[in-house]
Amino acid sequence: MKRSHTCGALTAESVDAEVILCGWVDTLRDHGGILFIDLRDRYGLTQIVCDPDDSVESAETAKRCRSEYVLQVKGKVRARPADMVNEKLSTGAIEVVATSVEVLNESLTPPFPLEEAKAAQVSEELRMESRYLDLRRPSMQQRLRLRHKMAMAIRSHMDSLEFVEVETPILTKSTPEGARDYLVPNRVTPGTFYALPQAPQQYKQLLMVGGMDRYFQMARCFRDEDLRADRQPEFTQIDVEMSFVEAEDLYQVVDGLLAEVMDASGHGRPELPLPRMSWHDAMERFGSDKPDLRFDWELKDLGEVFANTGFKVFANVLKQGGVIKALNAKAQAGVTIKQVDEWTELAKRHGMGGLAYIRVQEDGSWKSPIVKFFSDEESDALREALNIEPGDLILFAAAPWLQASEFLGKLRVEAASSAGAIPEGEFRFTWVTEFPLFETNDAGRLVPMHHPFTSVLPEDEALLESDPGAARAVAYDIVLNGVELGSGSIRIHDPELQAKMFDLLKISEEEKQSRFGHLLKALAYGAPPHGGIALGFDRLSLLMAGGDTIRDLIAFPKNHKGIDLMMEAPSTVDAKQLHDVHIQLDLPQVAAEEE
């Protein structure tokens, strides 16, 4: 055996045991000819003592060791002196006196230090270039172990509920899913392409038609879209689909699943059932369909307060059917002019003329150019509606309902973040339900809020004929701390209703058959009522680990430009490879010159 124990296994009970350890040199110290090596592996760290009095050969070998050398150490466990015990280590009560040290492999000097504090000061780009070294850091290994524990908890829980894990194809057909597809040319049939799946949406519906009843998968998904801290070109989602269910059944399954994940992550189990609110309620109160409930600043509609106002700006908005909404940023009256200017720019980007606000002075007086237009009755009603106290900052929006809500929703998070008002270490879930079935794009055309397979609320089905834009969907998102973890819906299982949905979306008969003919055909063969959800496993892992970017929860991620700096991917390919798949490049002039 190469080793008898790991570097995290030995304790005071191991004293006098003969052991063999393998690992990397974490640190090496020379104390007057006696060398101390901290030997590290995935499980922990053990102190090795190389004393010439015990083994001249071991001490000589240790002298030529350097950081990250790979060693096999044979020796005897002894207790450390009482004043030398390291309480921070599980192995801190013992050390191993080496009788043999063998260098299994040498190491070049790493391009960056692997000590946690020093590595944190190194650019992420440099660490990603040598990701195999970055992964040796205990913090990275802890995150990947946490991800593993979460995945095991998910699989165990879903198996207990009689879900079957089914793998769906990676090479599939290009269908409109909301983002650009990654395309794979087909050598056998020139001019045709596979697409990498943005999600297994149609496959999991087809599994329900196939009678699988309960399916789940830790599904790999691919989307060619702009990247950010919580988005990668390839990612993992917890994909779930169930037959003969209503939304309530999905809520219960996912509630239990998230409770198991929280428990496996060491955060305890949340109280179930998880809270719920409608999409309209979320937008009305928080200005977001993924509200952060860790702080209680809520938006307030002030239509009644200013119903008869003499302030023309507010009066004109109300006359045109808009709303007056406000947010009380508690204790933020001292915010800087620079910050207010930034928020004013945010207001303009949301189509507002500017930002109206009131600073409430410590003596209770109001400082703002707009308060002179308020009557005493309006000021009193405003004070009561917003629970205004000295030190508060009141922020207004006067616009159409959705525009005003979305602007104040973004301002709510920005103001709370800059004020340090968002608690750390808390987990606040909520379901957001009853989304609109459609939204309108820039061309004034109806597009699905989720996807075209989402069912309409039964009580709103008649609206598909009279006012489809007002119809609500049997769609739901699960949100944690202002982050959308997952999105799902009850699907359309009636082929006639599915065809009707395509008609409303102005999808031609030719496009229906070319892109969705297989699904429409399957629905005609006794498709059961079904529904499901997909949860972002990377985002969930990030929130459980308390990190800043999902790149830290993925073993080999891409950077913000979608580049794998370690493998140098994507890369060019030779002419023969392109010829085999019948592709001829027509690069932009700048790119061609760079080549």
Same domain, 77 and 216: no
Local structure of residue 472 (DSSP, 8 states):
B
Same domain, 186 and 98: no
Q: Which of 395, 422, 449 is the last residue of a domain?
A: 422
Same domain, 64 and 136: no
pLDDT of residue 595: 46
Residues whose CB falls within 8 Å of the CB of residue 41, separated by 6 or more in sequence, listed in order: 6, 7, 8, 21, 22, 23, 24
- CATH number, position 577: 3.30.930.10
Q: Please, what's the b/e burial string for 538-577 (b: 16 or more CB within 10 A of its CB; e: otherwise)?
A: bbbbbbbbeeebbbbbbeebbeeeebbbbeeeeeeeeeee
Decide: 75 and 121 in contact? Cβ < 8 Å. Answer: no
Same domain, 60 and 166: no
- CATH number, position 413: 3.30.1360.30
Q: How far apart are CA 271 and CA 428, in angstroms?
A: 10
Same domain, 66 and 98: yes
Decide: 509 and 517 in contact? Cβ < 8 Å. Answer: no
* 340 belongs to a structural domain: yes
pLDDT of residue 513: 85
Q: Which of 388, 422, 456 is the last residue of a domain?
A: 422
Helices assigned H by DSSP within 471-573: 495-504, 509-523, 537-545
Same domain, 79 and 135: no
Helix or strand or coil: residue 42? coil
Q: Which of 399, 422, 445 is the last residue of a domain?
A: 422
* 467 belongs to a structural domain: no
Token match 């499980």: residue? 43
Q: Strands 234-243, 214-222: parallel, antiparallel or unpaired by DSSP?
A: antiparallel
Same domain, 263 and 129: yes
* 252 belongs to a structural domain: yes
* 180 belongs to a structural domain: yes
* 251 belongs to a structural domain: yes
* 542 belongs to a structural domain: yes
| Cα–chain center distance at 564 | 19
Q: How far apart are CA 537 and CA 158, in angstroms?
A: 15
pLDDT of residue 176: 65
Amino acid symbol at 521: K
Give the range of the structural domain holding residue 326, as residue numbers without chain letter. Answer: 295-422
pLDDT of residue 592: 46
Minimal CA–CA distance to 254: which of 145, 163, 143? 163
Average pLDDT across each block of 10 residues of the chain; the chain has 595 residues. List them in order.
94 97 97 95 97 95 97 97 93 97 97 93 95 96 97 98 98 81 94 94 95 98 86 96 98 98 97 98 98 97 96 96 97 94 94 93 95 95 97 97 97 95 95 96 88 94 94 98 97 91 90 85 94 97 93 94 95 94 85 49
Q: Strands 183-185, 193-195: parallel, antiparallel or unpaired by DSSP?
A: antiparallel
* 416 belongs to a structural domain: yes
Helix or strand or coil: residue 130? coil
pLDDT of residue 279: 98
Minimal CA–CA distance to 217: which of 257, 157, 164, 156? 164
Same domain, 158 and 67: no
Helix axes 201-209, 509-523, angle to 10 degrees: 40
* 497 belongs to a structural domain: no
Identify the H or E element spanning 243. strand 234-243
Q: How far apart are CA 197 and CA 182, in angstroms?
A: 8
The domain tally of the chain equals: 3
Same domain, 143 and 193: yes
Decide: 45 and 38 in contact? Cβ < 8 Å. Answer: yes
pLDDT of residue 501: 92
Q: What is the pTM of this model?
A: 0.92
- CATH number, position 62: 2.40.50.140
Angstrom CA distances, 122 to 24, 40, 129, 139, 552, stand at 21, 21, 12, 15, 14
Decide: 161 and 155 in contact? Cβ < 8 Å. Answer: no
Amino acid symbol at 33: G
Q: Please, what's the b/e burial string for 8-46 (b: 16 or more CB within 10 A of its CB; e: otherwise)?
A: bbbeeebeeeebbbbbbbbebeeeeeebbbbbbbeebbb
Same domain, 180 and 85: no
For residue 276, what are its two tokens? 């719920």
Q: How far apart are CA 232 and CA 386, in angstroms?
A: 41
Same domain, 342 and 377: yes
Q: How far apart are CA 124 and CA 230, in angstroms?
A: 15
Same domain, 262 and 302: no
